[in-house]
Structure 1
C-alpha cells in the first residue's frame, strides 16, 4: 500500500472510531441494518461515466439517492439530478427525509409563498443559529423547489425503539408510493440516508406499498460507498472514476473521499459559535482572504508569500508527500507530522510553507492563516531551537496569536475558560484530565510569578506539553482579543507582537498575562 494511501486509510479508521464513540445507542438491529448495506456496497461490477448514470436516471420512475446529511456536496449532487430529471418534461416530485411527514402542511405553505423560510425552519425545529447546523445543504433544495413549483414530500417520521428503522422505512415508503402511483406517472427523486437506500430497505418497502398494480421502475444511487472507494484507491483510480455499477445494478457516484464525508460530520459535532463550513475547493482561496485580512491589521507584508503558500486538507491523500517535497524533514519529523495529521489537528508548517486544515471550518482556517502571517513577519525565528521551558512559552505565544487572528475573523468564537477546565478535571480521564489539571495549576501559579509557574511545566514534548501550551495560549489569545476589541490594547502593540521574535518567550508570556490582568 502506498504511503499516502496508508495515511489516508489510517485517518479514515481513526475518524470512524471517533464517530462511533460520539454516536450512542447503536442497537443490534441498527448494526444488522448497517451490515446489510455494507455487504451490498463492498465492491463494484464495472466503472461508468456520468452519461450512463444520466441515461439510467431518465429511465427510472423512483430514484433513491443516498445522502450524507452533513456534507453539502451530497445535497448538491441530488439537486443536480433533479435538474436533469426536469429536462425530460416529466413532472418531478422531491421526497426528502430532512422533513417529517407531520410537517407537510408547513412545507406546502412555504412552497406556495404563504410561509417565509425563517418561519418554516422554526416550525421544523431548524431555526438558523450559530455554528454548523447540519441544515445548510438542505435549504437550497427547498428554495429550488419553490422557484420551480415542484411538489415536495416530507417522508421522515420521529420514532424510537428497536424497530425504529423498520417503522421509518415503512412510513417513508407509504408516502413515496402515494405520489409515485399518480396517473401522470411522475418521476420521484428520494433523498434519504445512505443506509436506507439499500434495495432491501426502503426500496423493497416501496415496492410492497405500490403492489403489482402500480409497479414502478426503481433506481438506487449511492454516493461514495466506502468499499467501492477504497478498492479504487488501492488500484490508484479513486480520482479518475465518476461512477460505478454494483453487482445488484445499483449505482455509486464518486465525488468525495469517505474521509471528507466523515469530517463533515465531525465538524458538525465540534462546531463552535459563529463557525461556518469551508467548501474543500475554496479552502485555499478563503485561507488567502483571511491571511490578507489579518496581515493588514498586523502590518505584515505577505505579498509573494501569499501566492506561494500551499493549503492542504484531509481530502488530499498525498499530503505527507507534499509536505516532504516542500521542506527538508528527517524521518523522525515526518513521523511526528504523520501523528499530527492522524490526530485531526490543523497546523501551519513553516518549513514547508504549508497550511494543513484538518477541519474545513472557518475557525481552523483563520487560525492557521494567522500562523502564516506570523511566519511572514519573523521568518526562521518561528522555528528556532529552544530549551524545553522556552519552547513551552514560545508555543503558548504562537497559539495566542493564532487564536487572536481567528477571533478577528470570527469574533463569536468561544474559548474554554477556567470553569470549563475545572469541569474537565472532574469529567475527563488519562492525559485529557492531566492537561486540565496542569492548566488550572499553572493559571493559579501565575499570580505568584514566573518562577513558581515554571515549576509546573510539563517539559517532555509530548501530548501533555502540547495540550497545556495550546490551552494556555488560547486563554491568552482570547484575553488579548477582548482587550484589543475594547481599546485597552492598541493596534501598534498587536503589530509589535506579531513581529516579536520571542527571544525571551517566558518574559513575553508573563508580560502579557500581567498586562491583560
Structure 2
C-alpha cells in the first residue's frame, strides 16, 4: 500500500465513522429496525468476484424480475436506476415498480405518465411530501424517462405503521402487487426499486418467492445492492477498492458508486431538510444540529492540504466567503467587489446554469476568495475546495491575452481540481475517450431526447484533440485545428477545456495513488501559476504522455 493511498483510506474511514456516530446520535434506538438491518447485512459479508457493468446489464436483460436497492437520500442511488434503464430499454419491455408511490395512488401515476396531470398537480394529489419526504428532483428524471418512452410505472407502497410487523406487512403488500404484475405481463421485465433493506433475500424477495411457489410460477430474479460499506472496506484491504461492480453470487450483484462516508452524509443532510451539507435550507441553523455535524468545505480544504502535505497560510480560510443559491443578495454583493466587474456576465451565466465557481480578488491589497455553490453536491464542494487550495498556493493569476494559453491553463486548473475532489469521493467519474465515443453513439441513436447541441459538438472536439495528440506535439498543429474554438466567446472553450482537465485529473489521481506518478510533481503544478508562454500546453502534453498507459477507471 502506497503512503498516499494509506492516507486517503484513513481519511475516508475517519469521515465514515464520524458520520455514522452522528446518525446514531440523532436516531432513537429501534430494535425492530436494527433486526431488519442485520438480516440484510447477513447477505453482504463477502463477494464472489469483481464484475463489471456489461456483465450486470446482461444479467438484468436475462431476468424476469429485478430488485434494485435504493438509499433514498443519496442522489447517486437514483442515478443508477436511470443508467440501467437507459442501457436496457431498447432490449426489453420494462415495467417499473417503485416504493416511492403508494398503490392506492396508481390512478394519479397513470394520469401523470399519460400527460393528463401537470407535475405540480400530480405531486399535490399523491401527497408527495407526506408519503415520500425525499427530494423530488432526485426521482423526477426517472419518471420523465419512463413517460417519454411509455414505460409503465406501478406503485408498491402502503401506509406505514410502527415496528417490525409493519415493515413485514409492507413487504407482503408489495409482494402481492409485484406478483400480480408478473402474472399480468409475463413477457415484460419487472424492475423493482425499493429501499436497501427491503431487497434482502429474506425480506421482499422471500415474500414474492413464496407467492410464486404457491402459483407454481417460478421466475428468473436478480438483486442489485448498492454501496455496501463492509464490502468497500473489504475491497480496501485487498487493494481492489476501485471496483465498481461486485458479483455477490449468481443472483445478486452490488454496485459501488460512492464512498461510504458520502452515503451516510446524505442521510445527515436529509435530517437537516437539506439536499446536501453545503446548501443549508435554514440558514439560522448552520452551526447547529445535523448540518454542523457533517464535513464542511473548510474541513475539506484542510484535509486536501494535509494529504498533499501543504501548510496553508495561517488564517487563510478566514478570507474565504461561501455563498449559496438561497443568498438573494449575492449578485448585489458581487457588484461591490472591485476587479471582477468584467466577469459579471460570466458569473451570472454560471449561476443560471447551476454551476459552482471560485472567485479570486483583492481587498485593501490582500487576497480574498469566494466560493459559490448552487444546489451543490459533494463533488462540487470538493472541487471548489481543491481550486481554493490551488489558488492560495500559486498566488494571484496574471491576465493572459493569449487564448491558446488561457485554454490550457484552464485544462491544468480543472485537472488539479478534479484530482483533489477525488480525495473526498474516489467514485467520482470523468469521461474517457471510450465513454465519449459511446455517448456520441447514444446521441446518434436518439437515446438523449433533450440535449444542448454544444455537448455532442464538444465531445467531437475532445476526440479530435486526442487524435491530434497521438500525431504530434507541435503547437502550430493544435492552433490550426482549434484556434477558432480557443478564441470563441461561447461556452464551448470552457466546456472543452474543463472536460479535458477532468479526464486528465481522473487518470492522474489513480496514477499517483498507485505510485506510478510522483506526488511531488502534482505539488509543483499546484504552486505554479503557469504564466510562462505555452508552459501549460506542454505540461498538459507531458502529463498525458506519462499517463498514456494508465487506463481510465470506469464507474457505474
Is the pair's TM-score, using the shorter chain for normalization, greater than 0.5? yes
Residues 69 and 194, structure 2, Cα contact 8 Å, conserved in 1: yes
Alignment partners' CA distance in 1, 2:41 and 2:220 = 24
Judging changes above 3 Å, is the alpha-carbon distance between structure 1 residues 248 and 49 closer, same or farther for their aligned structure 2 residues? closer
Larger radius of gyration: 1
Task: Give 2:468's aligned residue.
Answer: none
Judging changes above 3 Å, is the alpha-carbon distance between structure 1 residues 23 and 261 closer, same or farther for their aligned structure 2 residues? same
Residues 96 and 154, structure 2, Cα contact 8 Å, conserved in 1: yes
2:79 maps to which of 50, 68, 76: 76
User: CA shift at 1:378, angstroms?
Assistant: 5.9
Judging changes above 3 Å, is the alpha-carbon distance between structure 1 residues 218 and 372 closer, same or farther for their aligned structure 2 residues? closer
Judging changes above 3 Å, is the alpha-carbon distance between structure 1 residues 213 and 372 closer, same or farther for their aligned structure 2 residues? closer
1:27 maps to which of 24, 27, 30: 30
Task: Give 2:303's aligned residue.
Answer: 320
1:67 aligns with 2:70: yes
Residues 267 and 361, structure 1, Cα contact 8 Å, conserved in 2: no
1:225 aligns with 2:228: yes
Alignment partners' CA distance in 2, 1:348 and 1:137 = 36
Query: How do 1:429-440 and structure 2 match up within 5 A?
Result: none
Give the SS at the match of 1:17.
helix
Superposed CA deviations along residues 115-149 of structure 1, whole A, max 9, x for unmatched, are: 11111111222369xxx952221111111111111
User: CA shift at 1:277, angstroms?
Assistant: 8.2
Alignment partners' CA distance in 1, 2:244 and 2:179 = 30
Task: Give 2:194's aligned residue.
Answer: 192
Alignment partners' CA distance in 2, 1:313 and 1:4 = 17
Task: Give 1:58's aligned residue.
Answer: 61
Alignment partners' CA distance in 1, 2:166 and 2:127 = 20
Alignment partners' CA distance in 1, 2:266 and 2:324 = 9
Q: Which runs of 5+ in 1 are unaligned?
A: 280-311, 334-346, 383-400, 411-517
Judging changes above 3 Å, is the alpha-carbon distance between structure 1 residues 379 and 216 closer, same or farther for their aligned structure 2 residues? farther
> How many residue pairs are counted as aligned between the two chains?
326
Alignment partners' CA distance in 2, 1:173 and 1:241 = 32
Superposed CA deviations along residues 262-283 of structure 1, whole A, max 9, x for unmatched, are: 12222222246xx77889xxxx
Alignment partners' CA distance in 2, 1:271 and 1:181 = 40
Residues 99 and 195, structure 2, Cα contact 8 Å, conserved in 1: yes
User: CA shift at 1:184, angstroms?
Assistant: 3.8
Alignment partners' CA distance in 1, 2:326 and 2:18 = 22
Task: Give 1:174's aligned residue.
Answer: 176
Task: Give 2:528's aligned residue.
Answer: none
Query: How do 1:238-387 and structure 2 match up within 5 A?
Result: 238=241, 240-247=242-249, 249-271=251-273, 320=303, 322-325=305-308, 327-328=310-311, 349=317, 373=359, 376-377=362-363
Task: Give 1:17's aligned residue.
Answer: 21
Alignment partners' CA distance in 2, 1:207 and 1:103 = 25
User: CA shift at 1:350, angstroms?
Assistant: 7.7
Judging changes above 3 Å, is the alpha-carbon distance between structure 1 residues 99 and 378 closer, same or farther for their aligned structure 2 residues? farther
2:218 maps to which of 211, 215, 218: 215
Give the SS at the match of 1:136.
helix
User: CA shift at 1:362, angstroms?
Assistant: 5.2
User: CA shift at 1:259, angstroms?
Assistant: 1.3
Judging changes above 3 Å, is the alpha-carbon distance between structure 1 residues 134 and 235 closer, same or farther for their aligned structure 2 residues? same
Give the SS at the match of 1:185.
coil
Judging changes above 3 Å, is the alpha-carbon distance between structure 1 residues 138 and 409 closer, same or farther for their aligned structure 2 residues? closer
Judging changes above 3 Å, is the alpha-carbon distance between structure 1 residues 324 and 13 closer, same or farther for their aligned structure 2 residues? closer
Alignment partners' CA distance in 2, 1:327 and 1:375 = 22
Task: Give 1:110's aligned residue.
Answer: 112
